[in-house]
Amino acid sequence: MLTKRIIPCLDIKNGRTVKGTNFINLRDAGDPIELGSLYAQQGADELVFLDISATIEERKTFSSLVKEIARHINIPFTVGGGISSVKDVAPLLDAGADKVSINSAAIQNPDLIDDLAKEFGSQFIVLAIDARKKINEWTVHTHGGTRPSDKKLFSWAKEGQQRGAGEILFTSMDNDGTKSGFAIDPLSKLNQLLTIPVIASGGAGCKEDFLEVFAIGKADAALAASVFHFSEIPIPELKNYLSLHNIPIR
């Protein structure tokens, strides 16, 4: 079994790390450079940087902040927010990103996934999917979770894989920030449906939630924000806990 990854997420707005519940009621969570550096020192496997207001504000990701964070870390670094074309990616890779995450632009133009995979390779492309459950379907949302689309979670994830995405980052909007645990059922189904890695996001509240998402949800990686930002779960303690429960951890 491949080792599982623990990934802190920096949601960035106006140059600061923020965190909300169900994608709203954002509160300040600290300086992204200091947090990124801390997580790298604590043994995080990767770091994700999402400029959450870039698409809504119709601008590009702050590459200067990406560059500054990259200077302070020595772990793989995924960057997303406002990426809408092939030409948007090179400046981020030059600034120190190892992978890029695309979301809204890929829904508006699915060929973007093909184009990016062809230009940079699938290993550089993370397809982020923000979805909310309505009746018995998971509807994909765009623009920082503010707009429902006509895409459904499972068919869109499968199409993303076919077009060349190297990973799927699935965030349950219903679970996000609630600390009630990850959305296990859709994660398990994604694992059965796809051959590329799935990153679980949304709902981490305790160490047991991480154990469940790996053991039952079969996620390849678990992403979390507030439990790390506010020092509720130290990463070394979490990794030791998972290792004691026979979860292969780096």
Contact criterion met (CB below 8 Å) for 125 and 117: yes
Q: What is the average pLDDT across 236-240? A: 98
pLDDT digits (tens, 9 = 90+) for 143-195: 878 899 999 999 999 999 999 999 999 999 999 988 999 999 999 999 999 99
pLDDT reading at 67 higher than 60: yes
Instruction: Provide mean pLDDT across the span 115-125.
Output: 97
Task: Give pLDDT tens digits for 30-56.
Answer: 788 999 999 999 999 999 998 856 555
pLDDT of residue 208: 98
pLDDT at 31: 85
Angle at 35 between CA 76 and CA 206, to 5 degrees: 90
Q: Which tens digits make up the pLDDT trace of 72-118?
A: 999 999 999 889 999 999 999 999 999 999 999 999 999 999 999 99
Statement: residue 65 has pLDDT above 80: yes
80 Cβ contact list (under 8 Å, min separation 6): 48, 49, 50, 51, 61, 100, 101, 102, 103, 126, 128
Q: Which of 51, 130, 209, 220 is catalytic?
A: 130
* pLDDT score of 98: 96
Judged against a pLDDT cut of 60, whether residue 200 lies above it is answered with: yes
Question: Which domains are present in the chain?
Answer: 5-244 (3.20.20.70)
Is position 98 annotated as part of the catalytic site?
A: no
Give pTM, 2 decimals: 0.92
% of the chain surpassing 70 pLDDT = 91
pLDDT band for position 19 (cuts 50, 70, 90): low
Does the annotation count 130 as an active-site position? yes
